[in-house]
Structure 1
Amino acid sequence: MLGATGTIGRATVRALVRHGHAVVCFGRAGATASPGVTVREGDVTDPVSIARDGFMGQHFDAVVSCLASRSGVPRDAWAIDHQAHLQVLRAAQTAGVPQMVLLSAICVQKPLLAFQEAKLAFEAALVESGLTWSIVRPTAFFKSLSGQVDRVRRGKPFLVFGDGTLTACKPISDDDLAEFLVGCLTDPARQNRVLPIGGPGEAQTPREQGEQLFALLGREPRFKHVPVLLLDTIIGVLSVLGRVVPPLADKAQLARIGRYYATESMLVWDASAQRYDAAATPSTGQDTLVDFFARRLRGEAADDRGEHAVFK
């Protein structure tokens, strides 16, 4: 198991154990050992460490990866989303591992950013590897959509880009996604396939998500509309300054990522029709975003966005 320290990774470890699998988590410190789980610390970017500290000459039935670059900037994306995965894949082939389940992202179907290209490059390598594979491309995570819960509770308006209907998604919870990932190990219908997946219910726009949050608080909806042009301006300025001050180039890339998510839906892309198709986006699970909002408001669910926090 790779990426076991992230929120999706931790949920996937729990699901693996729940389904009776013996789990070995490999990577940086932070994974928690529990019955049925062994933690091995090592460096996923070092092929020697992967073999010596990870596989250790043992037999494994499968590799499951929820590993992803933390920032999405080009050097991190190619180092983790592509190269680290490629090194794990080679080690798995050498060790005779027959199967790999990869958590990818639905946004790679319309790639405009470095991390998307890096993910696609590894997806292609996995497909050609000879292993039984499953590539899971989820839509938006609950944690990615919960950044405004606290600001709205404090009386601030809900921020939307444009009119709040530029994009839509089928939000999926950590636990529902984890169950889907684990099911790929045993369900032949999920093997040797690219699998877009969303949570239950209809696709939702940011405006609809805001309306749900205000309804839970018993308040009239209040929105602040942010023009996409503002992001374009920020990207332009940071790109120019980044030629002189290298750290600003990374900030420009992060702004490009933000613009992508502000203007592109996390749904299946119909290339022939040049549109996103909510009806073609499969659903799974039972957890809903509005229920998650309610748990957050009651203090029963944590805001675990870490360095990805945007709204305050």
Structure 2
Amino acid sequence: MTLKKRVLVFGGTGTAGRGVVRALLASDYAVTCVLRDRKSLDEMPTGVEEILGSVTDPNAGLNNALHDKKFDVVVSCLASRTGAPKDAWAIDHAAQFNALAIAKTADATQFILLSAICVQRPKLAFQHAKLAFEKELIASGLTYSIVRPTAFFKSLSGQIERVRNDKGFLVFGDGTLTACTPLSDDDLGRFIAQCITDETKHNQILPIGGPGPAITPNEQGEALARILKKPVKIKRIPVALLDVIYWVLRIGGLLSRKLAEKAELAQIGRYYATESMLVWNPETGKYDRDLTPSTGTETLFQHYEQLIKENRAQERGDHSVF
């Protein structure tokens, strides 16, 4: 009888992390999740072994909880909540480094990292923090897969309530500045689970998007109009306004730490308003749908239909722009 591969997951309570955990269970792996508090225990599906502890301070109890545990694979879905510099370097770099150290102590031979496609053109603190850890993982000697997904459904679903309430659909510029191939949590999870056994994904950096054509913000608004069967007013926000907000906050940040932090968040918002979540083609100097690999079957517009049918609001995180 072949023993199940033992997989340790960090960051398994976020929306993407939960998709990964579901896929690992469906693939019949023995899954253990590190949870930072007891409140998270209720979020885990049946079949998951749960360990309480903080990867930001493993000496506070996590190392003891794991001292006699052995794993074959570690999957990290850790990500900073805001992307602001202090948070980014604490989570996207330092906590990831702790997870890597735990992987080595637990005799794991493989480490799968959930990163982000936006690190290919780094301008923000969290992107530099992610890249710094990617380099450390590559140099670690473990078999690695660095998964860089495009935009998640939740990042593109925050305006459904606005549209339902006839408040219009907000876009930056003319609504065609950016495009992406959205990826569902479950399709991402299945892709990450495949990384365990698919040797073509070993020791690789793997940009990945969902199925179908690249979608612009305008097309998202048009899709909501079709699904809701009502006209949707597209409200356009000049990118220059974001620049003004950023500089006002940055100048104010010279006197106030709180305003300085808000300036960092404004800079993140501007990045997402102007940069596509696709593979960058250095030869053309443009983002390229044809160079962006795809996986899965679930589409953003199917997700919209489901949320609207069930009258649900999208669960969102701190990276939400709207």
Sequence identity percentage: 55
Q: Which runs of 5+ in 2 are unaligned?
A: 1-8
1:167 alignment partner in structure 2: 178
Of 288, 295, 303, which residue of structure 1 is paired with 2:306?
A: 295
* 1:14 to 2:22 alignment: yes
1:52: which partner in 2? 64
1:257 aligns with 2:268: yes
2:81 and 2:97 map into 1 onto residues whose CA distance is: 17
Aligned-partner Cα distance in 2 for 1:34–1:172: 22
Structure 2 match to 1:218? 229
Q: Is the 8 A contact 1:21 1:36 kept in 2?
A: no
Change beyond 3 A, Cα 1:296–1:13? same
**Partners of 2:52 and 2:259 in 1: how far apart?**
33
8 Å contact 1:51–1:57 — kept in the other structure? no
Stretch of structure 1 that moved more, 140-149 or 19-28: 19-28
Structure 1 position 72 matched with structure 2 position 87: no
| C-alpha distance in 2 between matches for 1:175 and 1:85 | 23
Distance 1:250 1:270, change over 3 A: same
Pairing 1:226-305 to 2, within 5 Å after superposition? 226-299=237-310, 302-305=313-316
CA distance in 2, matches of 1:2, 1:47: 12
Deviation at 1:35, TM superposition (A): 3.3
1:25 correspondence with 2:40: no
Offset at residue 306 of structure 1 (A): 4.0
| 8 Å contact kept, 1:50–1:91 | no
Query: Structure 2-normalised TM-score?
Result: 0.93
1:22 partner letter: A
Output one character per residue of 1:36-60: Cα deviation in whole Å (capped at 9) or x when no partner. 211111111123244222x322210
The separation in 1 between residues aligned to 2:213 and 2:22, in whole angstroms, is 27
Residue pairs, 1:101-180, within 5 angstroms:
101-180=112-191
RMSD across aligned positions (CA): 1.3
Q: 1: distance between equivalents of 2:73 and 2:206?
A: 18
Q: State the Cα deviation string for residues 111-141 of structure 1 (Å, max 9, x = none).
A: 0000000000000000010000000000000
Q: Once the two structures are superposed, what CA deviation does each residue of 1:128-186 show, in whole Å capped at 9, x if it has no partner?
A: 10000000000000000001111001112111101000000000101101110111011
The answer to whether the 8 A contact 1:105-1:137 is kept is yes
Q: What is the CA–CA distance in structure 2 between the aligned matches of 1:21 and 1:107, rounded to whole Å?
A: 30
| TM-score, structure 1 as length reference | 0.96
Give the direction of change, closer, same or farther, for the CA distance of 1:111–1:40 in structure 2 (3 Å limit).
same
Spell out, residue by residue over 1:211-246, the C-alpha distance to the aligned partner (whole angstroms, 9 max, x if none): 111111112342111000000000000001111110
Going from structure 1 to structure 2, the CA distance change for 1:130 and 1:78 (only over 3 Å counts) comes to same
How far apart are the structure 2 equivalents of 1:300 and 1:138?
28
Superposition deviation, residue 20 in structure 1:
0.5
Task: Give the letter aligned to residue 99 of structure 1.
Answer: Q
Secondary structure (helix, strand or coil) at the match of 1:185 reads helix
> Which segments of 5 or more consecutive residues in structure 1 lack a partner in the other structure?
none
Total equivalences in the alignment: 310
Which contiguous aligned blocks of 4+ residues in structure 1 show a shift greater than 4 angstroms?
none
1:184 aligns with 2:192: no
Q: Give the residue type in structure 1 aligned to 2:96.
A: H
Aligned counterparts of 1:203 and 1:285: Cα–Cα separation in 2: 15
| C-alpha distance in 2 between matches for 1:164 and 1:34 | 39
